[in-house]
Structure 1
Amino acid sequence: MTLTPQWLDELRARVTLSSVISRTTRLTKAGHEFKACCPFHNEKSPSFTVNDQKGFYHCFGCGAHGDVIRWMTDQRGLSFMDAVKELAAEAGLDVPAPDPRAAKKAEQHAGLHEVLEAAQNWYRAQLETPEGAKARAYLASRRFDALTMERFGFGYAPAGRQALKAALSQFDDTMLIEAGMRIAVDDKEPYDRFRDRLTMPIHDARGRVIGFAARILDADKKDAPKYLNSPDTPLFDKGRTLFNLHRAGPASRQSGRIVVVEGQMDVIALAAAGIAEAVAPMGTALTERQLEMLWRLVETPILCFDGDAAGQRAAMRAVTRALPLLRPAHSLQIVRMPAGMDPDDLIKRDGVAALEALLAAPKSLLDQLWEHERDAAPLNSPEDKAGLKARLMAHVETIADPDIKALYRRELNDRFSAFAFPPRQEREWRPMGRAAPPRRSDPLVTQRLRKNAGSRDALSAAVLAGLLRHPQELARHGDALAHADLADPRFAVLVDALDAGEPLETRHLSTILAARGLVAPNPVEYASLRFGFLIEDSPPELASESLAQAIGLLVERPALEAALAEATARFERDLSEGAYAEQQRLLKRKLEFDARLRQMASARTAALDGAATQKTAE
């Protein structure tokens, strides 16, 4: 018979570990846990602990560790199946009957594990070849030590489209495709999924390879995604997998915490710095299943996402998904990195002690929720403040646990009242003095920034209109848009829809925007920009190319404008020659950017006119 992981999890959840252990071992209550003298070795003072919430026992003396099934096999001496049958009878669960299809599926999974293990061994070997020099150079630039490189199993996928197939010729092509290692295209020869990339194996909770993450090495390939993960396969489900969980789980039992970061390289950087209890989702927002996996390890995982706008959006997506699942003592903590930095950047600049200081003082989930909504929109009128309260209460309504919902409602109402109706304070009398001189500014800069405000809105509106007209392009550019600092909230809504697996159809996406109180862009908003993707009946390849270029400009713009604003403020403060030169240099870049934008729009229009003329002639 085959026992699925889901069935075994249900069995463990239905049986209280302490009640089983207490039949043969005397337990003493100690806070949220139980303590006892270890039954596996002789000791005078108790070092054996039992934690029902986490579902495991652990001895700090001899290292004995396991769940309720492991207890029955190790302490009672039962076989695995005998232990399962006895616990199932106690829990009122029927043991699944033998299933030939399940047995065949288990055999199939074993074969796929062999494929992935063979691929990992081959990738590791390719890292040491002359062709793997680029990958070795990248690893050297990250300054990973030999132990870290060995532990995470870095490898290299050669550039050839058939290299993996030739190396793993003992496996049928159908197995390589099913394992996610090759891509099958209609009427074309299948080809290797990972090519000319640094590879990292992805493991399941038992430490078996179930997929790969691969990083691009050629910076010139701007259209290729920076990171590429295996697709969903019979072994790999990105929504049910956390990178590095098989190492972080045991480490979390020692440290009492689990740290969630955005990407695999962040996990590896933390491990190299001595923080072994870090995991990362697989390129998507945290799912409900992943949150439950984290809560089995610790009661309050720490989210440590990047300090940019995209990182904070990712943190809020995790918060909103966690709210309906909250239960007593289980929540999230949030650490905000310095602006523009990820954990690896902070460690390199200030050392691991700086990151540890942030992890030691995280925000609560409630604090994150309050601060995000308070700062999400201007609060200049009574209507604005009423909107803040409505947003807060909408979040509260998603909480399922009645006690937690009531406590959140009361706390957020108290904070809103203190913010919206602060006590009046008497102003301190001061003798009238001479007013401070106004800060000096370059009027030319101010004039040009105001002049470009309209084009700034036009570009955002044009790209939004293009994505709604060509929704299939959202999947291609979702990562870039998610990590860009875009002010228009409609981009975040579209990225959320992509992450949630919503149908990429114009009518459906417009409905999602309307449900959030947002509307599709009006053509008047982007009338000054005649991109090819905005013109009816434009050839698909031209529309795709022009939209990709427009998105490139949209993503580049916020960083450029922020740098220009900072340089202008610095010049206003000290009026130095250096500050003025930096301001002028960035202003020149901004003017070049605007010229590129105008040229791109007109160039796309000319290309479409030429294509139309040729079609008419034919």
Structure 2
Amino acid sequence: MSLPDGFIEELRTRLSIAQVAGRKVTWDTRKSNIGKGDYWAPCPFHQEKSASFHVDDRKGFYYCFGCHAKGDALTFVRETENVGFMEAVEILAREAGMPVPKQDPVAQKKADRRTILADIMEQALQFYRMQLKTNLATTAREYLEKRGMPLDIQDRFEIGYAADTRAALFQHLTGKGISAADLDEAGLCVKPDDGGSPFDRFRGRIIFPIRDARGRCIAFGGRAMDPNARAKYLNSPETPLFDKGRSLYNHGPAREAAGKTQSLIVAEGYMDVIALAQAGFNHAVAPLGTAITENQLHLMWRIAPEPIIALDGDTAGIRAARRLIDLALPLMEAGKSLRFVVLPEGQDPDDLLKSSGPQAMQDLLDAAQPMVTLLWEREVEGKVFDSPERRAALDTSLRAALSTIKDPSLRTHYTAAIKELRAELFAPKNRRDAPWQPGKGAWGKKTPQAATSGTKLSILGQTAVSDTFRLREALILAAAIRNPKAALVRETALEKSPIAAPDLIKIQSALLASLHLDLSGEDASGRLISAMTDRLGFNPMDHLLTLAPVRIHPHLKPDADPDLIALTLSEELVKHAANKGAEAELREAERDMEGLADEGLTWRIQQASEARAEATKASVNPGGEGSEDRENLSQQLQKLIDDQIWVKKKR
């Protein structure tokens, strides 16, 4: 049976070979780097104990360095299941949710037609390339020179030119024996409704060839030289070769470059991609004249797990980014997300690179904003939340957006992040009559600093609590890493521990994801650190030890007594919960302070202050002079948290 052209490619796009092979092998977590799509395991094709079987999930291939078995997901199923090609296709199609096309007697004929059309497209490209060197292309060459596009870049991207004549390409290709019907089917010519002679689709335009992931020329894009042209950019129409919603400009070269940089830039158009490549950013692609589609998102995620969407700094660019949020939220999962960069107002990548150089672009990419930031700013920008009804409306719209996230773990983390942003917005220091303006986020605007008169009276305003919280969070994580067994016992508490610092949230996530690995034996902490390092790309303990109190803590040394490490972990978890609970009540009390203070409010603040003092007064060095019995203190603190004595009770 012949399958439709593109079906196998679509099947490979939808499936993860790591997921397919993972049913038959056990991944070596110490050697694998899952975040980079790099998997290792003992080979299923020959008897061995070492992890010589390698899967590159991004490229979709496997290779065994022992027996030299190699192939893709289809090959793997055929070899491990002992089935034929079509049976393997059916197995994988069911897994991908794709119906296998029924046998079509003309399928092979259609595939042959696509081969013919691809050959015609290559001949057209060669014609356009030659046209760029003629006198008819003087204006086009001057334009490319003005844009700073040297000959080597023109050759690399195969830039051509379609002369402003009615049928130059048509006459050239029909003169070589190609029929008018074939040229029409390939999208190169247009047949008038009145039955007149066909004419060239592209006229008076610089030509950009569009190639698919396999390297075939499937379409063209053309930029008009006439400033009065009806369309500045024109793409080939949909053809048997070209589906613009499933294609990316510069797909193949960007995929190869992304394998080295572990990153992917998504720009708006051809010229952006070429300018980025000229500046050394070879890992850039662009959609083809439309908003990014679901299929294009999946193509991007196959190249890199967290593509950076780089959009022009104008209203249209910001609008496009915000629309993309609704498309991406239901499709995201752990390890597949988006980050966003919006360039300075009025600039595209070419403008920025020419005015400020590649480093300025790299700085923007390094500061790319996570999608949760854009979601939040989309919902609050330009709005006033001066009534319960308006706040409730904000909550409703946020809940609606978050409910579209299908991955439960991801939805939980998004909800937590939005909760923190909401608390910050409605905190007394941020209460304002003016419309909300986002901070130094994706849109690059500044947030005006505001403070209420009540801040000076605030207990929180008297101390730099954020530094204290960060230190305690670091102590918790360091203790958990030093004693994985104790961390596993307290896994629920670790998961619920309100870590706030973004860098420490990453370490917390890597810790929880690695705790269930095989950590038995003497060097459990070392193996845990190794597994977390693979996930994070850096050593978590080295990062935590940059804080002096963590570095010098006697119970966080590599050779510390495990029981004392466990006790330290328990204490710090309880103290952190106590501090966070007290802070939350104090924030609520501060909001109430804007009205008339009463006896109940004064009582709440007093109780919160006592709770915080009780939670933090104990020395972190047990056994010191005057210290209490550690177990009793932990129990007292836990009771304090459980009772929540700072919360106003009915009296």
TM interval, shorter chain, is 0.5 to 0.7
Residue 136 of structure 1 aligns with which residue? 141
2:225 aligned to 217, 226, 235, which one? 217
1:180 aligned to 184, 187, 193, which one? 187
1:124 aligns with 2:125: no
Residue 636 of structure 2 aligns with which residue? none
Shift of 1:210: 0.8
Which structure exhibits the higher relative contact order, with contacts defined as CA atoms closer than 8 Å and separated by 6 or more residues?
2
CA 1:69–1:236: 2 relative to 1, 3 Å? same
CA 1:370–1:171: 2 relative to 1, 3 Å? same
| CA RMSD, 1 decimal | 3.6
Residue 155 of structure 2 aligns with which residue? 150
Partner deviation per Cα, 1:324-378 (whole Å, 9 max, x = no partner): 1111221100012111111111110111111011111210010111122221434
Residue pair 1:3, 1:96 contacting (<8 A) in 2 also: yes
Distance 1:297 1:130 in 2: 41
Residue 230 of structure 1 aligns with which residue? 236
CA 1:48–1:355: 2 relative to 1, 3 Å? farther
SS in 1 for 2:344: coil
- Aligned positions of 1:398-477 closer than 5 A: 398-422=404-428, 426=454
1:194 aligns with 2:202: yes
Residue pair 1:202, 1:244 contacting (<8 A) in 2 also: yes
Partner deviation per Cα, 1:477-532 (whole Å, 9 max, x = no partner): xxxxxxxxxxxxxxxxxxxxxxxxxxxxxxxxxxxxxxxxxxxxxxxxxxxxxxxx
TM-score by length of 1: 0.61
Residue pair 1:396, 1:405 contacting (<8 A) in 2 also: yes
CA 1:14–1:391: 2 relative to 1, 3 Å? closer
CA 1:37–1:141: 2 relative to 1, 3 Å? farther
Shift of 1:136: 0.8
1:249 aligns with 2:255: yes
CA 1:271–1:110: 2 relative to 1, 3 Å? same
Distance 1:88 1:381 in 2: 57
CA 1:421–1:267: 2 relative to 1, 3 Å? same
Residue 50 of structure 1 aligns with which residue? 55
SS in 1 for 2:239: coil
CA 1:119–1:87: 2 relative to 1, 3 Å? closer
Residue pair 1:242, 1:280 contacting (<8 A) in 2 also: yes
1:397 aligned to 403, 406, 412, which one? 403
Residue pair 1:37, 1:48 contacting (<8 A) in 2 also: yes
Residue pair 2:166, 2:200 contacting (<8 A) in 1 also: yes
CA 1:64–1:196: 2 relative to 1, 3 Å? farther
Distance 1:367 1:411 in 2: 9
Residue pair 2:77, 2:88 contacting (<8 A) in 1 also: no
CA 1:311–1:97: 2 relative to 1, 3 Å? closer
Residue 164 of structure 2 aligns with which residue? 159
Aligned length, in residue pairs = 418
- Aligned positions of 1:572-587 closer than 5 A: none
Residue 438 of structure 1 aligns with which residue? none
Residue pair 2:61, 2:70 contacting (<8 A) in 1 also: yes
1:268 aligns with 2:274: yes
Distance 1:378 1:184 in 2: 56
Distance 1:186 1:91 in 2: 42
Partner deviation per Cα, 1:403-447 (whole Å, 9 max, x = no partner): 333332332133223212436653669xxxxxxxxxxxxxxxxxx
The sequence identity of aligned pairs, in percent, is 40
Residue pair 1:56, 1:67 contacting (<8 A) in 2 also: yes
SS in 2 for 1:337: strand
- Larger Rg, first or second structure (1 or 2): 2
CA 1:21–1:292: 2 relative to 1, 3 Å? closer
Residue pair 1:389, 1:416 contacting (<8 A) in 2 also: no
Residue 10 of structure 1 aligns with which residue? 11
Distance 1:12 1:261 in 2: 21
CA 1:48–1:298: 2 relative to 1, 3 Å? farther
Residue pair 1:154, 1:200 contacting (<8 A) in 2 also: yes
Supply the AA of the counterpart residue of 1:194.
F
Residue 326 of structure 2 aligns with which residue? 320
CA 1:191–1:260: 2 relative to 1, 3 Å? same
Structure 2 residue runs of 5 or longer lacking an equivalent are 45-49, 430-451, 458-651
Shift of 1:6: 3.0
Distance 1:180 1:103 in 2: 22
Residue 28 of structure 2 aligns with which residue? 28
SS in 2 for 1:156: strand
Residue 343 of structure 1 aligns with which residue? 349
Shift of 1:92: 7.0
1:293 aligned to 284, 292, 299, which one? 299
CA 1:90–1:417: 2 relative to 1, 3 Å? closer
Residue pair 2:20, 2:73 contacting (<8 A) in 1 also: no
SS in 2 for 1:306: strand
CA 1:83–1:251: 2 relative to 1, 3 Å? farther
Residue pair 1:11, 1:87 contacting (<8 A) in 2 also: no
Distance 1:228 1:67 in 2: 36
- Aligned positions of 1:96-115 closer than 5 A: 99-115=104-120
1:332 aligns with 2:338: yes
CA 1:59–1:284: 2 relative to 1, 3 Å? farther
CA 1:194–1:307: 2 relative to 1, 3 Å? same
Distance 2:140 2:54 in 1: 45
SS in 1 for 2:303: coil
Supply the AA of the counterpart residue of 2:152.
L
Residue pair 1:307, 1:342 contacting (<8 A) in 2 also: yes
SS in 2 for 1:212: strand
Structure 1 residue runs of 5 or longer lacking an equivalent are 40-44, 430-618
Supply the AA of the counterpart residue of 2:215.
G
Residue pair 1:261, 1:305 contacting (<8 A) in 2 also: yes
Supply the AA of the counterpart residue of 1:6.
F
Shift of 1:212: 0.6
CA 1:59–1:130: 2 relative to 1, 3 Å? farther
Shift of 1:95: 7.6
Supply the AA of the counterpart residue of 1:163.
A
CA 1:395–1:20: 2 relative to 1, 3 Å? closer
Partner deviation per Cα, 1:550-604 (whole Å, 9 max, x = no partner): xxxxxxxxxxxxxxxxxxxxxxxxxxxxxxxxxxxxxxxxxxxxxxxxxxxxxxx
SS in 2 for 1:194: coil
Residue pair 2:17, 2:55 contacting (<8 A) in 1 also: no
- Aligned positions of 1:437-586 closer than 5 A: none
Residue pair 1:54, 1:298 contacting (<8 A) in 2 also: no
Shift of 1:7: 4.4
CA 1:19–1:113: 2 relative to 1, 3 Å? closer
Distance 1:59 1:357 in 2: 39
Distance 2:341 2:64 in 1: 32
SS in 2 for 1:398: coil
